[in-house]
Amino acid sequence: MRINDTQLALVNKQIGALRSAGSFYGKKLAEAGVDGVASAEDFENLPFSEKADLRDAYPLGLMTAPEEDIVRIHSSSGTTGLPVIIPYTKKDVDDWATMFARCYEMAGITKNDRIQITPGYGLWTAGIGFQAGCEKLGAMAIPMGPGNTEKQLKMMVDLKSTVICATSSYALLLAEEIEKRGIKDQICLKKGVIGSERWGESMRKRIHEELGIELYDIYGLTEIYGPGIGINCKYETGMHYWDDYIYIEIIDPVTLKPVPDGEKGEIVITTLVKEGAPLIRYRTHDLSRIIPGECPCGSKFPRLDIIQGRTDDMVKIKGVNVFPSQIEEVLAETEGASSEYQIRISHLDGKDTMRLYVEAQSGSVDFEDLGKRIADKTKAKIGFTPIVKVVELGMLPRSEKKTKRVIDERYE
């Protein structure tokens, strides 16, 4: 889905604002000699922006509107170094609420709903975005913030909350507590709006079944407003996103060239009407794809698949980009395989070799047969056949932190 003329005109306005403000990106564009784009090709040659650049602009270097027009800042923290500060004008705050209200509407939520909001409030964009969208829609916000499960459940029962907004892990925790206390018949929840992170199908199924609610993935990041720039509809065919506010392209994270619709790659976002801190071609490092064609719901807003991981997890083997999430998908649909695996890549006789170690589920499993089925399914998914070794449950290393799934021995 290439950028259209309406969007190009908006990008030119964003470039003009950045340049005349002389803000961090304005200077960068001036240095690169960019003062506008005339075509989709021009656009695809614009420099990318990166989170590391945003840190360099700390504290207020991104500010592109006059100080008197800035009404709020938000901040995203990384694992290292300085936070990123994003200034918002009144219009930005309002646009964000409008997008978020659209998300609720897309999920079939109305002003008669009572929305219990468990994401945190504060410097980052979570809670306040859920709240502003709720108020814009006209529904009743129950602004809980995170934690205090006891109180969450009391409010959920007494106020008859119909919608829960949460991370997938907190939604699961609440579901388990409700189950444990046997209070499911006192719960009025119908829908859950879940911050889009990578979460497995089995977790989704558990939350869906234990709470008996429809689940909606909402997407967004602090650098680009916050959560609320896209959400799936009831057909669950990917997340519709608001292409009158943002332009999304998917690029190959290695060649940095845009890939055709339907192909997986890195999400790159350009803001179209932002005032406080416009961003051009911002690399999110989130992996997904544009879903081609029309959604059965009839909405003309384009669709982005649910987030399938981060580019940082990707490895290139035999010239093919392989993502651990693809292996997880194979294992989830292979009977007899557990979710634990390890990928080892080596370079032998001038060729890359991928070995895939997989733990079998407990019980009687024919290891050889299971290995063959995994190898076949992996080939269908990534295009070449790995050497699969099935091992007993509990054989692969576990870590309290994030388990290392990919070991690349080619460059050791």
Contacts to Zn ion by CB under 5 A: 233, 295, 297, 299
The three-state secondary structure class of 155 is helix
Q: How far is the CB of 398 from Zn ion (least distance, A)?
A: 39
- Which C-beta is closer to Zn ion: that of 236 or that of 376? 236
Q: How far is the CB of 300 from Zn ion (least distance, A)?
A: 10
Q: How far is the CB of 228 from Zn ion (least distance, A)?
A: 17
| Residue 262 CB contacts under 8 Å (≥ 6 apart), including other chains | 289, 290, 291, 292
- Which C-beta is closer to Zn ion: that of 147 or that of 293? 293
- Which C-beta is closer to Zn ion: that of 218 or that of 370? 218
Q: How far is the CB of 173 from Zn ion (least distance, A)?
A: 29
Estimate to the nearest angstrom the gap between the alpha carbon of 7 and the chain centroid.
23
Rounded to whole angstroms, the Cα distance separating 222 from 276 reads 13
- CA within 13 Å, CB half, 166: 23
| Residue 243 CB contacts under 8 Å (≥ 6 apart), including other chains | 7, 301, 302
Q: How far is the CB of 306 from Zn ion (least distance, A)?
A: 13
| Residue 288 CB contacts under 8 Å (≥ 6 apart), including other chains | 250, 264, 267, 304, 305, 306, 307, 308
- Which C-beta is closer to Zn ion: that of 169 or that of 299? 299
| Residue 44 CB contacts under 8 Å (≥ 6 apart), including other chains | 249, 257, 258
- Which C-beta is closer to Zn ion: that of 204 or that of 283? 204
Q: How far is the CB of 241 from Zn ion (least distance, A)?
A: 11
- Which C-beta is closer to Zn ion: that of 25 or that of 104? 104
Q: Using the structure block, give the residue that is written with the tokens 């021009």.
A: 42
The three-state secondary structure class of 376 is helix
Per-residue 3-state assignment (H helix, E strand, C coil) for 298-345 = CCCCCEECCCCCEHHHCEEECCEEECHHHHHHHHHCCCCEEEEEEEEE
Determine contact, residues 210/178, Cβ cutoff 8 Å: yes
Strand order across the 337-348 sheet? 387-391, 351-360, 337-348, 406-408
- Which C-beta is closer to Zn ion: that of 93 or that of 295? 295
* Helical (H) or strand (E) element with 192: strand 191-195
- Which C-beta is closer to Zn ion: that of 57 or that of 295? 295
Q: How far is the CB of 218 from Zn ion (least distance, A)?
A: 14
Both tokens of 179, joined, read: 């189950």
Partners of 240 in the β-ladder: 231, 303
Q: How far is the CB of 105 from Zn ion (least distance, A)?
A: 12
- Which C-beta is closer to Zn ion: that of 236 or that of 408? 236
Q: How far is the CB of 233 from Zn ion (least distance, A)?
A: 3
**Pair type for strands 315-317 and 303-304:** unpaired
